Amino acid sequence: MLAANYRSGDDFVVEFLGHRFEFSAHDFSERVTAAAVKLGLVESNDLDDDEQQDLVELVADGRIVEPRSGLGLYLVRHWERLSLVGDESLVYWLRKLVFRGAWLDHRVKEGLLDVSWEDDTGDFGYAEPEGGRTLLELAPVPSWHELQYRG
């Protein structure tokens, strides 16, 4: 039976869509950075420790109290423009992508999904084991590319 919740440690807890996911600091930081890249908030996952800490604080707490980096300062200074793109919340989408990645990883670990690299999309594809149906395309994500931090 599949456990409902993902756990890699107890440094961070994210409750999302009725699930409780617990992360080690390293796992959470990597997932937050990957989510920021996916949204286009930052260009690559090559962030320094202070930039990662600012993103982690934003996702964990919904705000950055005292920026540690240029990225954190950029997020605080331009929060009114960055917090919403259309009707989409930056914090919500960062959390959603952290959750989505952990949920997919957990399903792969439990043998409920197979994963493969898709060269044409440059992303992972997921399918049911033993030739079952391909997992429906993951919902598209909004883009923060136009507001991307350029450091």
Would you place residue 28 in the very low, low, confident or very high pLDDT band (cuts 50, 70, 90)? very high
What pLDDT shows up at residue 134? 58
pTM for the predicted model, two decimal places? 0.84
**Domain count across the chain:** 1
Question: For 96-108, what is each residue's pLDDT tens digit?
Answer: 999 888 888 887 8
- Single-letter code of the amino acid located at 93: W
Domain assignment of residue 140, yes or no? no
Three-state DSSP class for residue 15: strand
Domain extent for 49: 12-112
What pLDDT shows up at residue 104? 83
User: How far apart, in whole angstroms, are the C-alpha atoms of residue 133 and residue 123?
Assistant: 18
Domain assignment of residue 134, yes or no? no
- Top pLDDT among 126 and 48 is at 48
What pLDDT shows up at residue 135? 57
- Our separate counts of H helices and E strands in the chain read 5, 6
Domain assignment of residue 99, yes or no? yes
Domain assignment of residue 87, yes or no? yes
Polymer length of the chain: 151
DSSP classification of residue 5:
S
Domain assignment of residue 55, yes or no? yes
Domain assignment of residue 132, yes or no? no
pLDDT tops 80 at residue 129: no
Residue listed under structure tokens 């890699």: 8
Domain assignment of residue 128, yes or no? no
Would you place residue 1 in the very low, low, confident or very high pLDDT band (cuts 50, 70, 90)? very low
Task: Using alpha carbons, list the distances in angstroms from residue 58 to 4, 33, 108, 139.
Answer: 25, 11, 28, 23
Would you place residue 2 in the very low, low, confident or very high pLDDT band (cuts 50, 70, 90)? very low
How many CB atoms neighbour CB 133 within 10 A?
7
Domain assignment of residue 58, yes or no? yes
pLDDT tops 90 at residue 75: yes
